Amino acid sequence: MPTMNCRFHCCACDAHFASLSAFDAHRRSEDDERVCADPETVDKIKLLGEASCLTGPTRLDGVKVWGLQLTEAAERRLASMARAPATAAGSAD
Ligand SMILES: [Zn+2]
Ligand SMILES: [Zn+2]
């Protein structure tokens, strides 16, 4: 599955997510702050396995990548909160 690589890297806690929905699920609202939760403690997030992080200046292999399912509309809404890989700009599939 190509979507298993980290495409939405959390700049705050350096966790790796294959989807924005997974990224969002580890960001909790506490008062007016959004804080990171450990992905292992979030029910909606599951470990997809070890894959690669494509978001940094250099590719990282063998990192834990997390994921879950969400609608496309919800993913778009969340898109501004995650850092996406530069190589993904303008590419669909
Ligand atoms: Zn985080
Ligand atoms: Zn990453």
| Cα-to-centroid distance, 73 and ligand 2 (Å) | 23
Q: Tokens 């496309």 label which residue?
A: 72
Instruction: Render pLDDT for 36-92 as a digit per residue (tens, 0 to 9).
Output: 999 999 988 989 999 999 898 899 999 999 998 556 677 777 787 888 777 655 555
Q: Which ligand is nearest to the CA of 84?
A: 2
| Cα-to-centroid distance, 66 and ligand 2 (Å) | 10
Q: Which ligand is nearest to the CA of 66?
A: 2
Domain boundaries, the chain: 2-87
Tell me, yes or no, if the pTM score tops 0.85.
no
Q: Show the CA angle centred on residue 11, arms to residues 81 and 80, nearest 5°.
A: 15
Per-residue pLDDT band for 27 (boundaries 50, 70, 90) equals very high
pLDDT at 31 exceeding the cut of 90: no
pLDDT at 1 exceeding the cut of 50: no
